[in-house]
Amino acid sequence: MQKRILGQGLEVSALGLGCMSLSGTYGPALSLSEAGDLLRAAYDRGITFFDTAEVYGPHLNERQLAAGLGAIRDRVVIATKFGFRVSPDGKQSKGFDSRPEHIREAVDASLARLGTDYIDLLYQHRVDPDVPIEDVAGTVAELIAAGKVRHFGLSEADAPTIRRAHAVHPVTALQSEYSLWTRDVEAEILPTLRELGIGFVPFSPLGRGFLTGTVKPGSLPEGDFRAGMMRFTGDNAANNYALVEALLALAADKGCTAGQLALAWVLHQGSDIAPIPGTRKVERLDENIAAADIALSPEDIAAIEQALPAAQVLGGRYYT
């Protein structure tokens, strides 16, 4: 697989793997051995960029990565995140916590669960309104100086926050949602990142599966967290699936799946972009990886954007 360079020279595979679903969310958590098999399958196919967080599970996801990637730790890039309150029993509490002392505690705990002595890319999972971003960046800078962390990242931060953090310590990557149906970052965020030399890591590049055409209105099983999201319910879902049907038709003409076309579109938005689609199945892994080899002409891109204009998508990203 081709490589891409994020900020500060961090080299990653053009396509990464978002690992959140391995520890639940879209179904029961995989066992350590099951998750390890999938992670090694991803590595064997050229993926070297793996994304986790302390709150995935909570805590289980990082242990799954340790089980699957421990033997090849020096050949992969592992990104994890801090920033939420997590109780000692491993149950996520409400609210943010990016106090410097908590960041240090969270990093030490993540290192132990990951079975490593360094984190390649450490993200603040969400901006904490109660802690100045300068304090966050300064604390991560200290962890980088100590050798526990190699690169600093932010997630879902706005442009002014990115600038303030970057002034204290260079930001390597921003992770935010980006796909054909979520294009908010294009107006201000992407230009800011490119001005500052910061890479971009889109999560949910397949619209949490909706853009593949396999998630039809009313098809989500009980317990699936997407079932309560505005884009996946009622009239919104019917409207949005009609847009995906147009994408399905384009994909058929192109000889690929709708998911591959949607993922190829993201990959074509810039060489500084490394999306991290998630999956629990090897066959979907193969499908996603194949998208990296799809070439899109300017005419193809225009047709895709005309088929699925983000302005016509109904419903917010989450529950409102």
Could you tell me if 145 and 174 are in contact, meaning their C-beta atoms sit under 8 angstroms apart? no
Residues 6+ apart with CB under 8 A from 281: 38
Has 318 been annotated as catalytic? no
177: how many CB neighbours lie within 10 A of its CB? 19
CA 257, distance to chain mean position in Å, is 21
Q: Which of 43, 56, 178, 241 is catalytic?
A: 56
Q: Which two tokens stand for residue 127?
A: 């901006």
Q: Which of 203, 201, 226 is nearest to 216 (CA)?
A: 226
Q: Distance between CA atoms of 274 and 307, rounded to whole angstroms?
A: 24
Q: Which of 305, 267, 317 is nearest to 289 (CA)?
A: 267
Per DSSP, the residues of 38-73 read HHHHHHHTT--EEE--TTTTTTHHHHHHHHHHGGGG
b vs e for 268-284, b when ≥16 Cβ sit within 10 Å of the residue's Cβ?
bbeebbbbbbbbbeeeb
Active site residues: 56
